[in-house]
Structure 1
Amino acid sequence: MSSTPSPTPVDEISWVLNPLLELPGVLHAVIATGDGLVEGASNGLGRASAERVAAMTATLHAAARAFTTAFTDAERPRLAQTVVESDLGYAVVVPAGENTSLAVFAGPDAQLGNVAYQMQIQVAALGRALASPTRQQDAATARS
């Protein structure tokens, strides 16, 4: 009797990236912890690149928060999104719950409004999924 390996936490959370990756111009996406660890990454992004993106996401959010504080003297401003524009495209980072961020890289032709909107939809879906209790097998199913 063979058993199917249980999904890793990264596999369990990466589904949130799929709708983003279907948007025109979106090339890569990463879910990262606040301390820079990968929680999920698009298939086209290598592991080393995903780890760099996750680390930089944490750094970028910390810098954006400090930058905002320098302008406003606010203790801990809540970031809505951080956008970096380059000749290669856009890196967009949004908070995705407690100690988590969602980062997307889109080409210069991407519709940023659509990307930002879909990112918020996916963050909400991720929040609902993480807040839902794990389903338990009932006794009748477990005996079958």
Structure 2
Amino acid sequence: MDAHSASGRVQAKGRPLPLDVSWVLSPLLALPGVASGVVLSRDGLILGGSANVTTESGERAAAMTSSVLGAARALCAGLSNGADDEVVDIVISAGSGYYYVAPAGDRAAIVVAATGGVNIGTLAYEVQLQVQKLIKALDEASAARTPGVRA
């Protein structure tokens, strides 16, 4: 089953997600060497994905990425001697290329898979631009659901 319905919204267990932020991946997928991507909540739920990511693989990637981010946060906290070290990004180098993970505030993250030919510096820069857009979109969506709060 494809991760997107005919309307372009990501499917999760047969239903569209309440907030699909797959749009944040579009500029990243346009970069040479970037193959796929997933947007996830901090607790590992899929919030969006590229068209070539199935629901099952997107959910699996979201859950594993959430675990990797949790481990990275614990590592930083354990080795920082009490300093408030925030995880900015994680780059995993694999035989097939790279997996680039970037938290988006304390609520979400982006993970993209790229070939070994990707310009990792350009990818890092572009992901951080999209992270800022994602944080803003999540803030606005949260404010819209909370009576009396304006973004």
What's the TM-score once normalised by structure 2's chain length? 0.76
Q: Report which of the two structures shows the higher radius of gyration computed on alpha carbons.
A: 1
Deviations 1:101-128 (A, max 9, x none): 1111111110011111111111112222
Aligned to 1:139: none
**Aligned pairs (5 A) from 1:26-65:** 26-65=34-73
CA displacement at 1:10 relative to structure 2: 6.2
Q: 1:69 to 1:12 in 2, by over 3 A?
A: closer
Aligned to 1:99: 107
Which region of structure 1 is more displaced relative to structure 2, 114-123 or 11-20?
A: 11-20
Aligned to 1:140: none
Q: How many positions carry a matched residue from both structures?
A: 129
CA contact (8 A) 2:104 2:135 kept: yes
CA displacement at 1:45 relative to structure 2: 1.0
Q: Counting helix residues as a fraction of each chain, which structure ranks higher?
A: 1
Q: Does 1:71 align with 2:79?
A: yes
CA displacement at 1:74 relative to structure 2: 2.9
Aligned to 2:12: none
Tell me: higher relative CO, structure 1 or 2? Use CA pairs within 8 A at least 6 residues apart: 1
Q: Does 1:81 align with 2:89?
A: yes
CA displacement at 1:88 relative to structure 2: 0.7
CA contact (8 A) 2:37 2:112 kept: yes
Which region of structure 1 is more displaced relative to structure 2, 30-39 or 69-78?
A: 69-78
Structure 2, unaligned stretches of length 5 or more? 1-6, 10-15, 145-151
Q: Supply the AA of the counterpart residue of 1:98.
A: D
CA displacement at 1:69 relative to structure 2: 2.5
CA contact (8 A) 1:89 1:105 kept: yes
**Alignment partners' CA distance in 1, 2:38 and 2:20:** 13
Q: Does 1:127 align with 2:138?
A: no
CA displacement at 1:131 relative to structure 2: 3.1
CA contact (8 A) 1:10 1:40 kept: no
CA contact (8 A) 2:38 2:58 kept: yes
Q: Supply the AA of the counterpart residue of 1:24.
A: P
